[in-house]
Amino acid sequence: MNKFVKSNYTRAYNKVTYKNISFRFNVNTEADLISWLDNQDNLTDYIRKLILADIKASERRHKWHIRSGASLEHNDVKHYPYEVLEDLPYHDHDSLGYVKTMADAADLIIKHCDEDGCPQGQIRIIERFVTGGELGKMIAGKQYHGY
């Protein structure tokens, strides 16, 4: 008769239930990242939260572009001169969409708050414009405060 060995059972269970993911950092060029990770209380939980926040932001971006009818074209400044941005943690931001008028921007902000609740950060409206000549076009922006 076979004897039950808990370590064999645990190993088999972990192999079926979990996926091990590893990655490396260069101690010379990424020392700041290593230090940051070393100072986290629970590294697995920290990484899990970052990934979930990224998934949520990605889903919100996709959902808003579909729902709002906002332009997905980043370079169409003539037809969509305003961009509505929400500041996110870790110095990131989420583009809620590109709109034609300030009134459309206000409507987009109201819809965003009604659908998703309180914003994660400050919401900004940027007026986009093209700078440079024909060969060196660059999209720039002017921020409107108080929205």
* Residue 75 maps to a domain: yes
Express each pLDDT in 100-110 by its tens digit.
888 988 888 88
* Residue 15 maps to a domain: no
Q: Which domain holds residue 94?
A: 29-144
Domain count along the chain:
1
* Residue 13 maps to a domain: no
Whether the model pTM is above 0.75: no
Express each pLDDT in 58-97 by its tens digit.
766 555 555 555 545 556 777 888 888 888 777 777 788 8
What is the rounded distance in angstroms from the CA atom of residue 46 to the CA atom of residue 21? Answer: 15
Sign of CA dihedral 30, 36, 41, 47: negative
* Residue 23 maps to a domain: no
3-state secondary structure of 127: strand
The contacts of residue 126 (CB under 8 Å, 6+ apart) are 82, 83, 84, 85, 141, 142, 143, 144
* Residue 88 maps to a domain: yes
* Residue 133 maps to a domain: yes
* Residue 101 maps to a domain: yes
* Residue 22 maps to a domain: no
Express each pLDDT in 88-102 by its tens digit.
777 777 788 888 888
